[in-house]
């Protein structure tokens, strides 16, 4: 049913006059009469009859009027709800995040999101190096907080910050006695590496750091997550070069030291599908930039 005709019907019923309703609607009387007749044809019964005090509703008209106001109100609510969602003030946002960023970013990011988009339903999903790309592409998450950025033709990236590299080691390691570890001290020491198994380890930021300083560290284990790397460090399997924010999720017994003479860092990025039209992404991006700037 045409909602415009329904509004015309309600106006005539309330005014009990086609002429007065036309004035209220700021339209000519003949087109209004035509719309009422079309509505009656659609209903299949007369909606009005002429009475001594104007246009009276028939039983069919009374039945329609009893529901027309509710239908128009629901339609108006639906339009307003769509506008609110389109403006990014309502809706649902599924946020993916990598474990290494959880303790450093989420405690600040979530309250910031609640303040910025209070009417939006938020849910969160932990991502790993092997799942983050797939979760974005299959739309199970809307936006992802990643380290480093995802490089894929269907994924848009906004870099929001960086984190310096630090050396993770067991507290009993002789290197733990140093305030900062010279890069040369890493020569020949076992490395727990983080590149994905299907990627070339030589392409990682850590590998680039070691090459620049002409340091060779044999890889004893290659893991997917920072917490897996820290567990192996704690077990004494080797050292790990990690983003500084990993300190906040470290188990007791693992300590961190800066790398003397190394200024390398790893980027933090917000990633989402290029074809996504969610207005919530821009709100999330602003919140993420604000929070990461304070790390």
Domains of the chain: 3-86 (1.10.10.10), 91-161+267-292 (3.40.190.10), 163-265 (3.40.190.10)
CB burial of 272-293 (b: ≥16 within 10 Å; e: otherwise) equals bbeeeebebbebbebbbeebbe
| CA 207/CA 63 separation, integer angstroms | 76
Tens of pLDDT along the chain (295 residues) come to: 678 888 888 889 989 999 999 998 889 999 999 999 999 899 899 999 988 888 899 999 898 888 887 787 777 655 545 555 555 556 788 999 998 899 999 999 999 999 999 988 899 999 988 889 999 998 889 999 999 899 999 999 999 999 999 999 999 999 999 999 999 999 999 999 986 544 544 458 898 899 999 999 999 998 888 889 999 999 999 999 999 999 988 999 999 999 998 988 999 999 999 998 888 899 999 999 999 998 8
């Amino acid at each position: 049913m045409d909602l415009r005709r329904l509004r015309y019907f309600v106006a005539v019923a309330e005014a009990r006059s086609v002429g007065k309703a036309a004035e209220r609607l700021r339209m000519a009387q003949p087109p209004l009469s035509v719309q009422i007749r079309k509505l009656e044809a659609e209903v299949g019964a007369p909606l009005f009859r002429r009475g001594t005090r104007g246009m009276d509703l028939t039983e069919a008209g009374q039945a329609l009027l009893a529901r027309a106001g509710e239908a128009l109100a629901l339609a108006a609510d639906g339009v307003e709800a769509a506008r609110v969602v389109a403006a990014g003030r309502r809706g649902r946002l599924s946020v993916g995040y990598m474990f290494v960023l959880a303790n450093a970013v989420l405690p600040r990011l979530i309250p910031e999101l609640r303040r910025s988009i209070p009417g939006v339903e938020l849910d969160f999903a932990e991502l790993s190096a092997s799942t983050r790309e797939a979760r974005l592409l299959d739309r199970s998450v809307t936006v992802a907080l990643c380290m480093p950025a995802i490089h894929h033709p269907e994924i848009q990236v906004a870099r929001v910050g960086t984190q310096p590299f630090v050396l993770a080691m067991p507290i009993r390691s002789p290197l733990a006695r140093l305030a900062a570890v010279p890069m040369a001290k890493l020569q020949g020491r076992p490395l727990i590496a983080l590149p994905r198994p299907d990627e070339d380890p030589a392409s990682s930021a850590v590998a680039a750091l070691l090459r620049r300083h002409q340091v060779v560290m044999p890889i004893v284990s290659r893991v997917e997550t920072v917490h897996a790397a820290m567990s192996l460090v704690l077990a004494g399997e080797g050292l790990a070069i990690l983003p500084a924010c990993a300190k906040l999720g470290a188990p007791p017994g693992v300590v961190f030291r800066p790398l003397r003479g190394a200024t390398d860092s790893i980027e933090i990025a917000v990633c989402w599908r290029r074809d996504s039209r969610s207005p919530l992404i821009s709100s999330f991006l602003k919140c993420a930039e604000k929070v990461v700037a304070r790390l």
